[in-house]
A = this chain, B = another copy of it.
Amino acid sequence: MTEAAFLAVDWGTTNLRAWVLDRGGGILAGRDFPLGVSRIGAGEAQRCFDETVRPALKAEGLPAVLCGMVGSNLGWVEVPYVDCPADLNALGRRLLRIEGESPPVLIVPGLRARRPDGEPDVMRGEEVQVLGWIAEATERRRGRRLVCHPGTHAKWVRVEDGRIEHFVTAMTGELFDLLRKHSVLPVRDGPDDDEAFDDGVRAAGDGEALAARLFTARSRVVGAGMPAARVRSYLSGLLIGAEVAATPALAGADPGEPVALIGDLRLCGLYRRALQARGVETSVHDGDDAVLTGLKALFEAERVT
Docked pose: A213 CA to B174 CA in angstroms: 13
CB neighbours of A172 from chain B (8 A): 211
Determine how close the nearest CB of chain B comes to the CB of A97; give it in whole angstroms: 23
B171 near A122: Cβ-Cβ < 8 Å: no
Pick the contact of A122: B169, B175, B223, B243 (CB < 8 A).
B223
A247 near B211: Cβ-Cβ < 8 Å: yes
B170 near A212: Cβ-Cβ < 8 Å: yes
A183 near B211: Cβ-Cβ < 8 Å: no
A217 to B, closest residue via Cβ: B171
Asked if A242 is an interface residue, CB under 8 A from chain B, the answer is yes
Give the residues from 181 to 228 in chain A that come closer than 8 angstroms, CB to CB, to chain B: 181-184, 203, 205-216, 218-220, 222-224
B117 near A205: Cβ-Cβ < 8 Å: yes
CB neighbours of A218 from chain B (8 A): 122
Pick the contact of A242: B179, B211, B223, B245 (CB < 8 A).
B211
Residue count of chain A within 8 Å CB distance of chain B: 52
Asked if A61 is an interface residue, CB under 8 A from chain B, the answer is no
Determine how close the nearest CB of chain B comes to the CB of A153; give it in whole angstroms: 7
A219 near B179: Cβ-Cβ < 8 Å: no
Asked if A249 is an interface residue, CB under 8 A from chain B, the answer is yes
B224 near A120: Cβ-Cβ < 8 Å: yes
Pick the contact of A178: B179, B243, B245 (CB < 8 A).
B179
CB neighbours of A206 from chain B (8 A): 208
Asked if A239 is an interface residue, CB under 8 A from chain B, the answer is yes
Docked pose: A81 CA to B219 CA in angstroms: 12
Docked pose: A206 CA to B245 CA in angstroms: 14
CB neighbours of A296 from chain B (8 A): none
Docked pose: A234 CA to B243 CA in angstroms: 21
A212 near B169: Cβ-Cβ < 8 Å: yes
Determine how close the nearest CB of chain B comes to the CB of A201; give it in whole angstroms: 14
CB neighbours of A174 from chain B (8 A): 183-184
Asked if A168 is an interface residue, CB under 8 A from chain B, the answer is yes
Docked pose: A170 CA to B209 CA in angstroms: 8
Asked if A250 is an interface residue, CB under 8 A from chain B, the answer is yes
A209 near B178: Cβ-Cβ < 8 Å: no
Docked pose: A69 CA to B183 CA in angstroms: 16
Pick the contact of A223: B81, B156, B224, B245 (CB < 8 A).
B81
Asked if A50 is an interface residue, CB under 8 A from chain B, the answer is no
Interface core residue of A182, A208, A209, A247 (most chain B CB under 10 Å): A209
A210 near B211: Cβ-Cβ < 8 Å: yes
Given contacts A122-B219, A207-B209, 16 further A-B contacts (CB under 8 A): A112-B223, A119-B219, A120-B224, A121-B215, A121-B219, A121-B223, A153-B215, A168-B212, A170-B209, A170-B215, A171-B184, A171-B215, A208-B246, A209-B246, A210-B211, A212-B247
